[in-house]
Amino acid sequence: MTAPAPAPASVPASVSPGRRLLGHRLFWPAVILVALLMINPVFTDGFFKVELKDGHLYGSLIDIVRFGAPLILVALGMTLVIATRGIDLSVGSVVAISGALACLRISDLGDQNSAGGVLAAAGVALALSVALGAWNGLLVAGVGVQPIIATLILMVAGRGLAQLITDGQIITVNSAPYKLIGGGYWLTLPFGIVIVLAVLALTAFLTRRLALGLLIESVGGNAEASRLAGIGARGVILTVYTFCALCAGIAGLMISSNVSSADGNNAGLWIELDAILAVVIGGTPLSGGRFSLGGTVLGALIIQTLTTTIYSIGVPPETTLLFKALVVTVVCLVQSPAFRAKVFHRRRRPAGASPVAEEKVRVSA
Amino acid sequence: MTVATVPGRRVRVPRRYVPVLVTAALFLAMFAAGGIRYEGFATGQIILNVFIDNAFLLVVAVGMTFVILAGGIDLSVGSVVALSTMVAATLLKQGWSPWPVMVLVLLIGAVLGLGMGAIIHYFEIQPFIVTLAGMFLARGLCYTIGTRSIPIDDPVFTAFAQTRIDLGADMWISPGVVVAAAVVVVAAYTLHYTRLGRNVYATGGNEQSALLMGLPVARTKIAVYTISGFCSALGGLVLSFYMLSGYGLHAVGMELDAIGAVVIGGTLLTGGSGYLFGTVLGVLVLGLIQTIISFEGTLNSWWTRILIGLLLFVFILMQRLITARRR
């Protein structure tokens, strides 16, 4: 595999269309996704077939998007946080808390099928998620704690809170309106996909049509400089952490609604890692200052496709983690300027700059 | 609970000792409170039990202290612990003799740490993401070896598990505690009395300055991750003595406990400041929380997580106050 071009933000118009395509920052993620998808038809007949049954769309491709919907949501929020040079480890806990609270409220309803009650329950759960996100944002922006550590607190305590809400049990609900969020259909599309499209459109509008995206990138590029330039860096940081938790809250509703139950221990377990992975694969650097929403969506789809593919080719699903480790390592290495300089442009470096670089390659798998 | 107070202007205690002293005070307060509240709590054996139940955590937290002091972080420790128990159990089942197994397990841990350290240093990727990949890798290897719990019935391992070392006065410890104590002593000597230890503090304090002073930053950074990998593997062995089984789901979330113990022990997460003794106290505090919750009986185990989160919050806030004053 050759190195991707160093993701130029704007390619001069005079460059040929082929080169421009190669240089586009979404090119490599898209290639990986297509390559992964192409493996599947070998093992599954009619993998690409999408059909309309009873007014609902069915097919493996639809399933990938449907099961990937919570991850896409969480990863979208994570993208904005990472763009400000932060990170949010607490999303998994927020997923668990939001699902737990919603299910608890619904199970307390007299009539579990009343739409109003379900809406109120979802509203309370999302309000709590927003509050948790604001707490993270306050710690990072107000107190000045490193993002990893600030969100670590909620990651540790959050699982306990979720258990506290569910009283250590798995709460099951039997509510048709709630089931709609994660498992239902609306206008032939699974409702989860509709939610993802809505959130994606909203985020894209806020960050790419309004100034918010620019503010986020400037805070991520250099928080101090942007503060001196008159940008309310604290407000921006608070906003992105709140938004991230809100996305995680919606994802939590989706996950618990899909299985009609809330499990404080296992809901959203490891989702923070998958979300970070999706963001990184999508080409948003962890050092902040630049982000790509489209890349994140592609990254999340790649992860979901990887999982589906592993199931369909009959490799034991336990090895998914190994593949993920491999993917993270390769993607990070390819993104690292130091790696590219040392491995691909070795001759340009002055001799003896760091002679041991290549012997120290990862001993993975 | 104690309040995170920084002493007034005229107090003689040097500021760098404050976090450790606060943790020590917290530990004593918790022990005293427990002693007043519960019958049969204020005995030496309770503290020894905390050590017995958390010997593996102590070993892992010592490795984590090195990494955090050097300004890094290692998220892979829990998975490496699980991998160690899994490798040990599998090889013993296949009839390997126990001593080569232990050597091999320690070697695997150290090599994993070495690899991660090398990638972090030479390719300038954040430690967070590299060790995250290491975490996936080790956990994935566990599941590839097997998804079931594998019992260990090797006589040497069982002996390690069942031996009681009598300390007199009705008190005893397990061999795991002896291993942990040895690790703590060696690590404390290394950190505070050797060149490597100085380099670790200097690198964590300011990597750029350390480099300009001519200190071997590359070697130090790689060394701390190797030490952490080695300690995780050793912690895994101690855990397999304790559990007598290898399982891919052992030690899930332990990286957080280890980081928590180091932070509660007063080591600054930005690196360059902290003491190994603080980490020992941090592990003791975490262990004592569990003990108190089990004595209380009516509180559920998830309160442990909430309390640990709360403690982390208080201590991180205190760290911010101290570093803010120093400027």
B118/A contact by beta carbon, under 8 A:
yes
ipTM: 0.76
pLDDT of B12 reads 63
The set of long-range contacts for B13-22, using a CB threshold of 8 Å and a minimum separation of 24, is B15/B322, B15/B325, B15/B326, B16/B273, B18/B266, B18/B322, B19/B265, B19/B266, B19/B267, B19/B274, B19/B278, B19/B315, B19/B318, B19/B319, B19/B322, B20/B265, B20/B266, B20/B275, B20/B277, B20/B278, B20/B281, B22/B266, B22/B315, B22/B318
B143/A contact by beta carbon, under 8 A:
yes
Q: Which positions in chain B touch A365 (Cβ < 8 Å)?
A: 137, 141
Buried b (16+ CB within 10 A) or exposed e, B269-280: bebbbbbbbbbb
pLDDT of B239 reads 92
Number of other residues whose CB lies within 10 A of the CB of residue B162: 11
Beta carbons within 8 Å of B95's beta carbon, 6+ residues apart: none
| Residue reference for tokens 């709609």 | A180
Give CA–CA dist B282/B265, Å, rounded: 4
pTM: 0.81
CB contact at 8 A, A247 and A74: yes
A330/B contact by beta carbon, under 8 A:
no
B307 vs chain A: nearest CA distance in angstroms? 7
A360 vs chain B: nearest CA distance in angstroms? 6
Q: What is the DSSP string of A169-196?
A: SEEE---HHHHHHHH-EETTEEHHHHHH
**8-state DSSP, B4:** -
A21 vs chain B: nearest CA distance in angstroms? 27
pLDDT of A250 reads 95
Mutation pick from B64, B137, B222, B249 vs chain A, by most beta carbons of A within 10 Å, is: B137
Q: Name the pLDDT band for A346 (thresholds 50, 70, 90).
A: low
Number of other residues whose CB lies within 10 A of the CB of residue B321: 15
A330-344 pLDDT, tens digit each: 877 877 777 777 777
Asked if the model's pLDDT at residue A296 lies above 90, the reply is yes
The partner residue sitting opposite A325, judged by closest CB among B133, B313, B316, is B133
User: What residue in A sits closest to B313 (Cα-Cα)?
Assistant: A153
Instruction: Identify the CA nearest to B249 among candidates B111, B96, B138.
Output: B138
pLDDT of A9 reads 45
pLDDT of A337 reads 75
Point out the residues of chain B with pLDDT beneath 70: 1-13, 324-327
Strand partners of residue B150? B246
**Extents of the domains making up chain A:** 74-275
B162 vs chain A: nearest CA distance in angstroms? 32
Asked if the model's pLDDT at residue A89 lies above 70, the reply is yes
Helix, strand, or coil here: B168?
strand
Q: What is the DSSP string of A226-249?
A: HHHTT--HHHHHHHHHHHHHHHHH
**What residues 243-302 of chain A have any CB closer than 8 A to a CB of chain B?**
264, 273, 276, 280, 286-287
pLDDT of A351 reads 43
**What residues 87-146 of chain A have any CB closer than 8 A to a CB of chain B?**
87, 143-146
Give percent of chain A with pLDDT exceeding 90: 29
B319 vs chain A: nearest CA distance in angstroms? 9
A213-268 pLDDT, tens digit each: 889 999 888 888 888 888 888 899 999 999 999 999 999 999 999 888 888 777 77
Q: Name the pLDDT band for A198 (thresholds 50, 70, 90).
A: very high
pLDDT of A360 reads 41
A145-180 pLDDT, tens digit each: 888 888 888 888 888 899 888 888 888 888 888 888
Q: CB contacts < 8 Å between A and B, how many?
A: 142
A50-84 pLDDT, tens digit each: 777 777 777 788 888 888 999 999 999 999 999 99
Instruction: Identify the CA nearest to B89 among candidates B251, B248, B249, B245.
Output: B245
A177 vs chain B: nearest CA distance in angstroms? 31
Q: Rounded mean pLDDT of chain A?
A: 82
Q: Which positions in chain B touch A264 (Cβ < 8 Å)?
A: 302
Backbone angles phi, psi at B104, to 5 degrees: -60, -45
Output A352 or B236, whichever has higher pLDDT: B236
For the record, the structure tokens of B94 come out as 């296949």
B125/A contact by beta carbon, under 8 A:
yes
Q: Alpha-carbon dihedral of residues B85, B86, B88, B90, nearest 10 degrees?
A: 150
Q: Do A286 and B73 touch (CB under 8 A)?
A: no
pLDDT of B9 reads 52
User: What residue in B sits closest to A165 (Cα-Cα)?
Assistant: B302
B249/A contact by beta carbon, under 8 A:
no
Q: How many residues does chain B have?
A: 327
pLDDT of B221 reads 94
